[in-house]
Amino acid sequence: MWIYCKIIILLHFSFLLGFIKQLFLLAFIVISILPVSFTLLFAQGLSFSILQQKSLGGESSDICTSLLSLPSGSFLLGGYSWSNGKKGDKVDTLRSFLLPDIWLLELDVQKNIIWQKTYGGTGADILKKIVRLQDGNILLGASSNSIKSFEKSENTRGLYDYWLLKITPSGSVIWDKTLGGSRNDFLVAVLELDNGEILVGGNSFSTKSGDKNSENWGEADIWLCKLRASGELIWQRSLGGNNIEQLAALQKKKNGNFLILGTTYSDSSGSIVDTSRGGADLWIAEVSQAGNIVRQKRIGGNKNDIAAALWINEKEEIFLLAASHSDSSFQKTEPCRGDFDYWFLVLDSRLEIVGQKTLGGIQPDFPVAFCNVAPEDTLLSIVGYSYSNIGYEKQQPARGQEDIWLLTLDKKGRVLEEQTVGGNASDRPAGCYYMPKQNLYVAAYSNSTQGFEKEDSSKGLEDYWFLAIQSATLGKTENPFGAEEFIKVYPNPTHSNLCIQAVPLENAYLTIWDVWGNKLWQQSLSSEESIELNLSLPPGLYLLHFHSPKGKLVKKIIVY
Q: Does the pLDDT value for residue 165 go beyond 90? A: yes
Query: How sure is the predictor about 526, in pLDDT bands with cuts at 50, 70 and 90?
Result: low
What pLDDT, on a 0 to 100 scale, did the predictor assign at position 5? Answer: 40
C-beta separation of 71 from 57 below 8 A: no
What pLDDT, on a 0 to 100 scale, did the predictor assign at position 326? Answer: 98
**What's the chain's average pLDDT?**
86
Q: What is the mean pLDDT of residues 398-402?
A: 95
Q: What is the mean pLDDT of residues 224-252?
A: 97
Return the biggest CA–CA distance within the chain. Answer: 77
Query: What pLDDT, in 10s, does the model give residues 122-164?
Result: 999 999 999 999 999 999 999 999 999 999 999 999 999 999 9
Least confident of 79-93, 275-289, 434-448, 538-552: 538-552
Residue 404 maps to a domain: no
Residue 274 maps to a domain: no
What pLDDT, on a 0 to 100 scale, did the predictor assign at position 20? Answer: 27
Count of the separate structural domains present in the chain: 1
Backbone torsions φ then ψ of 467, nearest 5 degrees = -130, 140
- Burial (CB < 10 A; 0-12, 13-18, 19+), residue 365, is buried
Q: Which of 310, 302, 364 minimizes the C-alpha distance to 327?
A: 302
Residue 533 maps to a domain: yes
Whole-angstrom CA distances from 304 to 96, 277, 282, 301, 514 are 38, 9, 9, 7, 41
In percent, how much of the chain has pLDDT > 90?
Answer: 64
Give 321's strand partners: 309, 344
In percent, how much of the chain has pLDDT > 70?
Answer: 85
What pLDDT, on a 0 to 100 scale, did the predictor assign at position 220? Answer: 97
Which pTM does this prediction carry? 0.79
What is the residue range of 519's domain? Answer: 484-559
Q: Does the pLDDT value for residue 384 go beyond 80? A: yes
Helix (H) or strand (E) holding 542: strand 540-548
Query: How sure is the predictor about 254, in pLDDT bands with cuts at 50, 70 and 90?
Result: very high
Length of the chain: 560
What pLDDT, on a 0 to 100 scale, did the predictor assign at position 51? Answer: 86
Residue 490 maps to a domain: yes
What pLDDT, on a 0 to 100 scale, did the predictor assign at position 515? Answer: 63
Instruction: Return d(Cα 1, Cα 545) in angstroms, integer.
Output: 61
Q: Among 224-228, 519-523, 543-547, which range has the highest average pLDDT? A: 224-228
Q: What is the mean pLDDT of residues 304-308?
A: 98
Q: Which of 138, 52, 142 minimizes the C-alpha distance to 102?
A: 142
What pLDDT, on a 0 to 100 scale, did the predictor assign at position 16? Answer: 31
Residue 555 maps to a domain: yes
Q: Among 57-61, 416-420, 437-441, which range has the highest average pLDDT? A: 57-61
Give 383's strand partners: 369, 406
What pLDDT, on a 0 to 100 scale, did the predictor assign at position 4? Answer: 39
Residue 524 maps to a domain: yes
Q: Does the pLDDT value for residue 475 go beyond 60? A: no
Q: Does the pLDDT value for residue 352 go beyond 90? A: yes
Query: How sure is the predictor about 516, in pLDDT bands with cuts at 50, 70 and 90?
Result: low
Helix (H) or strand (E) holding 558: strand 551-559
Query: What pLDDT, in 10s, does the model give residues 543-558?
Result: 888 877 666 677 788 8
CATH of residue 506 = 2.60.40.3080
Residue 522 maps to a domain: yes
Residue 508 maps to a domain: yes
What pLDDT, on a 0 to 100 scale, did the predictor assign at position 531? Answer: 86
